[in-house]
A and B are shown apart, each in its own frame.
Chain A
């Protein structure tokens, strides 16, 4: 199985090509997620989930918005880009059926279990990694909406059981996302080298 076929771009075996929509989603997502994380950790610092005011605080170098109110301005500005980007992209991959062949499928699970081809296995592993980023982003969005509007969207609070659980799950989405981002970057390099990375960014 060649790399070109594996990535579903058999027309251009010499390189990778990403749909413009995928590139736009990817860019807006990176920028908005990092803005949300930087400002979110600043908000976290006002009253850490773990330990309250006496708890561990994040260093200011990692943070956006110099204080709680400023960080909220960042957070409630970029939430629109973050949330609406996920929404239109979800609609897009649904109607173009990209969700069927651009994300992890049973064939990838099978390849990891049975294939002796290292390239195929890496490819499958990479698909698991970036596919699993989607539910984490949705978790961040859902828990965020739940904290933004706990009365109007009280069903979200109901899902997570308590305010504390909601806060913890919102926070936890950050380290999980960062681990997945690291794996995604490393696996992309392993699977398609810089050519693949460039194809998504340019």
Chain B
């Protein structure tokens, strides 16, 4: 696994640089300025964002007729969807928990169902009113009984991303605990009242109105409770987007 991560990491660095270079003619300088500004302001930004975040403040819910299925775009980098064997699929919950879980899709569907019709916001600026159905993440976390040291939640997705060199790798993401236990944060298996399509993250994805789209990891297979944010904080985060990504 560590080999996979390392390969993936070097690919990410190249990918990130490629993005920087195509955006302008002075990539290195531009990139170092951006990184400096990020390093200086992000600790303040994420502290401020977590300070004003209220776990009980609910995002607006919409009516079924306000859903616009066309508006939810899919990022081109996520075109390579994994093959998930639904019978063998397991969602494991581990790390800093007293009761590790190993859930089948049937187990997940037996947990309390919740439907939310919310505004999904992309880092690019567009929004999409979308209905998600699934189990609130807080219900799964409660079952797993986090220890008192657990402060962040790391998610790993089914391997599915294939880069230019044909290497397979997966998506991963880290969230702060407060956002995870927000009542509208779901492990979703339903989109717009239909079973979640594979390109949207089937069988299980994160869906929440309080984080930007890139934080809402698809094809979730592992949930690991941790005390600190890991070095590899998230797929898009490691490409250069800010970690907190909250709205």
Q: Which residues of A contact B (CB under 8 A)?
A: 42-44, 46-47, 49, 52, 60, 63, 65-70, 72-74, 76-77, 80, 147-152, 154, 157, 163-164, 167
Partner of B125, one of A47, A66, A151: A47
Q: Does B242 contact A73, Cβ atoms closer than 8 Å?
A: yes
> A74 contacts B37, CB within 8 Å?
yes
Q: CA A69 – CA B240 in complex, angstroms?
A: 6
Tell whether B85 is near chain A: CB-to-CB under 8 Å.
no
Q: Does B60 contact A (CB under 8 A)?
A: yes
Q: Which residues of chain A are within 8 angstroms of B52 by Cβ–Cβ distance?
A: 149, 152
Contact: A65 with B30, CB < 8 Å?
Answer: yes
Q: 17 extra interchain contacts, Cβ-Cβ under 8 A, other than A66-B31, A68-B124, A73-B38?
A: A42-B23, A47-B124, A60-B24, A60-B25, A63-B24, A66-B21, A66-B24, A66-B30, A67-B20, A67-B22, A69-B240, A70-B34, A74-B37, A77-B41, A149-B49, A150-B247, A151-B57
Chain B, Cβ-Cβ closest to A158: B60
A47 to B71, CA, bound (A): 12
Of all chain A residues, the one with the shortest Cβ separation from B37 is: A77
Tell yes or no: B53 within 8 A of A by CB.
yes
In the complex, how many angstroms separate the beta carbon of A75 from the nearest chain B beta carbon? 9
CB distance from B121 to the nearest CB of A (A): 7
A136 to B125, CA, bound (A): 21
Question: Among B37, B49, B125, which residue has its beta carbon within 8 angstroms of that of A167?
Answer: B125
CA–CA, A43 and B21, complex, Å = 16
CA of A72 to CA of B14 in the docked complex: distance in angstroms? 20
B positions within 8 Å CB-CB of A? 19-27, 30-31, 34-35, 37-38, 40-42, 44-45, 49, 52-54, 57, 59-60, 119, 121-127, 209-210, 239-242, 246-247
- List 14 contacting pairs A-B, 8 Å CB cutoff, sorted by A: A46-B124, A46-B125, A65-B23, A66-B23, A69-B239, A69-B241, A69-B242, A73-B34, A77-B40, A80-B41, A149-B49, A149-B247, A151-B59, A152-B57
Nearest Cβ on chain A to B4's Cβ, whole angstroms = 24
A63 to B126, alpha carbons, bound, how many Å? 20
Contact partner of B122 (CB less than 8 A), chosen from A44, A47, A74, A154, is: A47
| Cβ-defined partner of A163 (8 Å) among B23, B124, B127, B210 | B127
* In the complex, chain A residues whose CB is within 8 Å of the CB of B37: 73-74, 77
Give every chain B residue within 8 A of A68 (Cβ-Cβ): 123-124, 241
